[in-house]
Structure 1
Amino acid sequence: MNYKLFSNYIMKKTLLSALLLSSMFLMNSCLQDRDPGPQPDAAFVTIYHGVADGPAMDIFTEMGRINNSPLTYSNSFPYNQFYVGERVLRFTPSNAANTLLETTHTLEKDKVYSIFLVNRLTEIEAVKIEDKWEEPTSELAQIRIAHLSPDAGNIRIEIGDEEEFFGEKIEYQDFSAFKAIEKGKTSIKVYTEDGSEELISVEEIDIRSNRVYTLIVRGLKDPQNSNNPLSIQLMTNYIRF
């Protein structure tokens, strides 16, 4: 990963969307970049809501709330700069005082992280993964798998003609390394580990060049009272311009 290119990409994206500096809480909790002087050491962090039966959430650091809009299921708080060191993250239902989860994460200088909120609400967890990829090209993207379905069991993924794209077995809460994938339209199928049952499929999905993706298997195989059944989501982490 080229950290400088990634940093420039995120800064342009956040400035265009007016997210980075749009609230006092965010300015106090994440890094301020209006000061023309030397900036403190920082890491980039994104937070993904993968709790199928979980409510919309507010996110707090030690200094206050950092998200302007509630974080809803299958969406993410975009990459932002955070001070390095031990950082406390607290998650509450939107506009509520009770805490669903409080965790501490160590962030290192010039590193990029994804934090995934996973499991069912009664057993909610936050899993931190360091994001490391090769730079995508005009012909190749980068992609990884995140298995976030707590009741789907071990799975395997078929992408196009490659029956075991991420290996023969993907366990719950497995996060693969990024690997290259050719651009173009392709199919994605999710099977049980032994291949006896197709759990879900997408017949045509567009993989674009110069991009980094996370392929997320999320939701519940047996949703019961949940409105979030097993599904596939292709999330873009980075675009190289």
Structure 2
Amino acid sequence: MSRNQTRRRVLTIVGGTGVAMVAGCLGGDDSSDEMGDDDEDEMDDGAGEEMDHGTDNEEEMDEEPAEIRVAHLSPDAPNVDVYVDDEPVLEDVPFRAVSDYLELDPGTYGVMITAAGDPDTVVFDEELEVMEGAVTVAAIGELAEANQPFEVTVLEDDLSDPGEMARVRLVHASPDAPAVDVTVGDGETVLFEDAAFGDAAAVEVEPGNYALEVRPATENNDGDVVATFDVSLEAGTVYSAFAVGYLDPDAAPADEPFDLEVVSDAHGDD
């Protein structure tokens, strides 16, 4: 099965790339069902104005919020703190961590990422414009740039209900790993092929238990298996599988072995 490329830029960034998160909430008031004659007269007198105002509210309600989460996938980067408009929104985020989704209104935000507990050590400080939709903002690569340069990339997340199937997205974030094929059943079924560093691709499969076989990409998808990961996938659930760490940690800037971090992005009944 060929890759379905989903690594698409959905944040317009002023001067660079980055991370943004702000929590939001909604509230409402209940109104009384009782109405007197005076109230009815007032309602009739201002009907046109109220209707126009209601149209504006409907337009505002049609605008979807942005859902954003952060993934720390850079193996040699320290734990980090994340600030939005100078306010801390995430603290002491370690390597391999993937945050929950946070909602915010579309708009422009100042974003700063620093070493955890050390606001003077800034690894990113930019402004970015956040658009509607769900995205994962991922720090990938290495500060040492031994294999891949450090960067922040934005991945569009498809959180739609896969129905009776399960949807799995592979994100290749292992700096020293080549392009890979991912198979199951001793190579009989190819889930992903020729996925290079920084790529993201999704596939829908029957729910169940799988042993994912990671192989260097070859024309016939028959490279030697370098790692196997057991995963259990449920119907109606969306997952992301982040390939992280090093195939050869002894020769790497950080002693972080190759692994597959699988997280649940959404359930059909959410």
Normalised TM-score (structure 2)? 0.70
Match 1:121 to one of 123, 134, 143: 143
**CA displacement at 1:140 relative to structure 2:** 1.1
1:3-36 residue CA offsets vs partner (Å, 9 max, x unmatched)? xxxxxxxxxxxxxxxxxxxxxxxxxx72432553
Distance change (3 Å), C-alpha of 1:183 and 1:64: same
Contact 1:157 1:189 in 2 (8 A): yes
Is residue 217 from structure 1 mapped to residue 239 from structure 2 by the alignment? no
Q: Which residue, 53, 64, 69 being the options, matches 1:46? A: 69
| Residue of structure 1 in register with 2:214 after alignment | 190
Q: Which amino acid is 2:103 matched to?
A: Q
Secondary structure at the aligned position of 1:201 is classed as: strand
Identity, in percent, stands at 16
Partner of 1:56: 79
Q: In 1, distance between residues paired with 2:247 and 2:128? A: 30
Q: Offset of 1:179 from its aligned partner?
A: 2.5
Structural mapping, 1:83-232, within 5 Å:
83-97=105-119, 98-109=121-132, 111-122=133-144, 123-137=149-163, 139-160=164-185, 162-167=188-193, 169-176=194-201, 178-194=202-218, 195-202=222-229, 204-224=230-250, 226-232=254-260
For the residues of structure 1 that align with 2:177 and 2:209, how far apart are their CA atoms?
26
Q: Whole-Å Cα distance in 1 between the matches of residues 161 and 23 of structure 2? A: 25
Q: Which amino acid aligns with 1:73?
A: F
Alpha-carbon displacement from aligned partner over 1:45-97 (angstroms, at most 9, x marks no partner): 01001011121111111231101x42111111210012313333221111102
Q: Is the 8 A contact 1:186 1:205 kept in 2?
A: yes
AA partner of residue 197 (structure 2): Y
Ranges of 4+ aligned residues in structure 1 off by more than 6 Å: 37-40
Q: Partners in 2 of 1:226 and 1:146 — Cα distance?
A: 20
Q: Are the counterparts in 1 of residues 134 and 159 from structure 2 also a CA contact under 8 Å?
A: no
Which letter does structure 1 place at the counterpart of 2:240? Answer: T
Which is bigger in relative contact order (C-alpha 8 A, separation at least 6)?
2
Alignment pair present for 1:75 and 2:97: yes
Is the 8 Å Cα contact of residues 101 and 125 (structure 1) preserved in structure 2? no
Q: Which residue of structure 1 lines up, in the alignment, with residue 88 of structure 2?
A: 65
Is the partner of 2:101 in helix, strand or coil? strand
Amino acid of the structure 2 residue aligned with 1:196: G
Q: Which residue number in structure 2 is paired with residue 240 of structure 1? A: 268
Is the contact made by 2:24 and 2:102 (CA closer than 8 Å) also made in structure 1?
A: no
TM-score normalised by L of structure 1: 0.77
The alignment of Structure 1 onto Structure 2 pairs a total of residues equal to: 207
Q: CA RMSD in A?
A: 2.3
Amino acid at match of 1:65: P
In structure 2, how many angstroms separate the alpha carbons of the residues matched to 1:184 and 1:142?
Answer: 12
2: CA distance, partners of 1:199 / 1:147: 14
2-structure distance, mates of 1:197, 1:88: 46
Instruction: For structure 1, list consecutive stretches of 5 or more residues without a partner in the other structure.
Output: 1-28
Displacement of 1:170: 0.7
Letter in 1 for 2:248: D
For residue 103 of structure 1, report the CA deviation from its aligned partner. 4.3
